[in-house]
Structure 1
Amino acid sequence: MTADSSVQRRYQSGFGNQYASEAVPGSLPQGRNSPQQAPLGLYAELVSGTAFTAPRAENRRSWLYRRQPSVVSGGYQPYAHTHWTSGAAGGVVTPPDPLRWNPFPLPTEGSSVDFVDGLATVVANGEPDAQVGMAALVYAANTSMQQRALVNADGELLLIPQQGRLVVTTELGVLDVAPGEIVLIPRGMAFKVGLPDGTSRGYVCENYGAPFRLPELGPIGSNGLANARDFLAPVASFEDTAGSYEIVKKYGGRLWRNQQPGTPFNVVAWHGNLAPVKYDTANFMVIGSISFDHPDPSIFTVLTSPSDTPGTANCDFVIFPPRWMVAEDTFRPPWYHRNLMSEFMGLVTGQYDAKPEGFKPGGASLHNCMVPHGPDADAFDKASHATLAPHKLDNTLAFMLESRYRFIPTAFAMHGGALDPTYANCWSSLADTFLKAPV
């Protein structure tokens, strides 16, 4: 059963659920994970996304029942990739300046660039082998992956489309993902990306650290932010086509390739709680101030990757979706601030309220640890004098990848042509308006 973007998909609901799915009746064994002979001549294969002895509530693994096991593959050779680097070691020395990028360019007309070759690291920190840190990448592609798949052993991948839908074929099934939705691919799971709308662009978070999970709600209570049931996992689906596959593997901060005799998308049945999922950000339950003051951005956290310091994340994925602004006697955009946490931002659609002009969909910004930032001069003036009636920010979706570690920009980020050299000018007209005597 080959992937087709015109097919109406069926999904399983929930984040971290113990899913079970079979594409052919009777292909999922009952009572035993690895019987002496798996049903229908299939092979049993276990994929563990955490250590075997991780606490039960955090343990993630799935059993796959496939036509051929993953060991049927050829040897790997190095794969040259100009712009996909890993960790802090792949960056270049940069001053402690705020940085902003114009929309990253799309593939040139007449070129053929798929998702793998269209990836480029913008900023990164940590180190994949230490399972610490993350990278923020962009992709720009105009060609669907065919007999080719990607496996990332260095970390899980969070895909954030900005332009063009994606059909993401994984070992466990197929996910259709549109701008405004996200998809999370577990570490080590093969997938390929189809482009039903042609030329596409978006962002990727490569998380080397602890797997993403839903944040604790604390005083918010039992409801709020992202609901587990709105995360959708695929049902079992397998390719029934002949032909060899190229596998591109990210491993130890480097890329490798092999040619294997058949498709990696041959899983007929599976069960477990390690699965790719998609999420529609329109389902996010926004919580904000209904009295005064602008709340911390942590109130917009969709997913978090915790570190060894409680409350200080390896990576948080935060969104700024449509929402009502109602606070009284309040400067409603984000205040001027300097943070311990480093912030990489992207814009999927619309405008961001603190940067209404210079921050465009498909672009990005970086404000590292203790780098001052906040609304540009025009946004400050407008917000300082606006009539504070209830107001809805609509037709907008920005996101932030926030990390406890400093982000290191890459050579692609600094010299690839998208960097905005005039970014700091947006604050230059913020004059000293201090009044020595009260008005």
Structure 2
Amino acid sequence: MPSLKNSIDYDNWAEQIPNTVWINSKGKIKHSLDKKLQLPASEWENPLMEYHSERLQNLYFTDRRDKKKRTAIALTSSRGCPLSCSFCAIVAADKEGPKWRAVEAETLVAWIGEALNSYDFQHIYIMDANFFVKKERVLAFSRGLHKLRGGTLTWSSSSTVGYLLKIRHELPTLVLQGLRLVEMGIEVGSQSQLDYMNKRVSVQNNIDAIKALQKNNIDIGLDFIMFYHDQKKQEIIDNLIFLVSAGVTEHESFDHYFNIMMLYPGTPVRHNLENSIGEKLSLEKLPFSRDFIDNYDVKKIYSTFIDDFAKPWLGKLEAAISSNLRVLSQSKSKSLKAQLSLMNIYLRHMPFIVLWELSHAKKHAPIEVIVPQFSNYTHLIESLLHRKDEATIARKIVEIGTTGVGGRSGELISKIS
């Protein structure tokens, strides 16, 4: 432990550093003076030339289009975001509003070209919060990158819906120049929730953006918030209907079914919550959003979905799907491949079915009572995790109905609409 004198000296020293937050010797959070200090993008150094992290040097990207696994590198080319989504921590970065700044496309390409002399990589993860802000910058970057290494490099990045739609007609060209994945900030599936989060787009805009990526076979990283503390039950149902309408019920990751809004300090949603409960939340750690769910139905749906389904079964569900995929990759039987592919579709719909049933239950009851198919799902998962041979698998195939690949009409569509 530092001496009292050293602690005081440290506090005095930290007070002189603008925009600093620290915990003093008494365990209290201290702040120095806020000052506007933003290094111009033109003075940024190439971040790839200080690439010493072993974890980052062992990045990979699975390129589904080219059917290959690419070594990758990651960097950030911009700071901030021009938007002001009410839940996003970026809005707290500048009290007068988020300030977006970015290196020029030519500089970004030069950074990557310089890094190619030191590292072996074929894919670039651009980790910006919102890379597609300026259409011409994106197009110039893509053209420049395509000229490096004979056009063999690929890339991925992120966008919000409005900016993606402004460039949708150029997506075929971007794909030819190496674009493989866009992480899309969709967030929610109803207009009431979009307005609550200050997204400044419509539900149809969200659907159009996803369809534009699907049309061009660009993988989608789906940023979606299924639950939040100030939510109504109908808004959960709206989110599920949106997933069907947008054709993402079979999205590879299940995260979008379970994400709950984080209550970041300095955000409007947290400020509103603090006003409603009459107290400031601690800055030392993020609060559990589930503790502040005020709607009884939403609270029950969330607790059952997380505690009775996700915690005991999600890991097993993902393991069963992975096991099926391994068998699929090794099997030469067309019949077995078809059966296992159909089974995986059935399993991928499990989170949707469970949450849909929970959201329509008339009263709270055990999950096995609310979700008629639940025991079928769990028995199938257990059988897949303990199977011994392919013949056993084939005998355990079940008759199923699905929502349809890519949003095509299926049994659930009529029930939803």
TM tier, smaller: under 0.3
Structure with higher RCO (Cα < 8 A, 6+ apart): 1
Instruction: Give the alignment's TM-score, normalised by structure 1.
Output: 0.26
Q: Which has the higher strand share?
A: 1
